[in-house]
Structure 1
């Protein structure tokens, strides 16, 4: 069903707003949680609506690619990876710990 919904969303007419509307609807719980976090003083990289939509789009594409591309990802591994707390930020790109990226 996830694959069918993703494929259908890619066939919506450009400019119809249907994909954006579905993304906002699907990410409402995440958006509400992010808004709550902001109210509690947590810093977000942008408005809760946009952050939630970006996260939802990333997760949707990852799910589609993993399901149709034979990635062989374990559900637990994906959940753990996406929910693991990030390391403290120092604001330096070299702190991303991407092997060989900044050598």
Structure 2
């Protein structure tokens, strides 16, 4: 849970608030009563994201291929489709229509 503070408190008491964040406390900063930012302790990224190597993926037609591994990999790839917009658009055409 975080403590809500107005932006002016962050400005006026920056050093004290940063010390509290460093100690593990979190803050939600507001401007005119509306939340605009979260101030949370930094968590270093200890490892890069892990992607499966294509060397470890059996071919579909390979005799004795581990179908579960191949199907898991395929499911991973298909799950990325919702995050990738591969629609081809012509920005010049859109500008002329709009």
Q: Normalized against structure 2, the TM-score is what?
A: 0.23
Q: Normalized against structure 1, the TM-score is what?
A: 0.23
Task: Choose between structure 1 and 2 for higher RCO, CA contacts under 8 A separated by at least 6 residues.
Answer: 1
Larger Rg: 2
Higher percent of residues as strand? 2
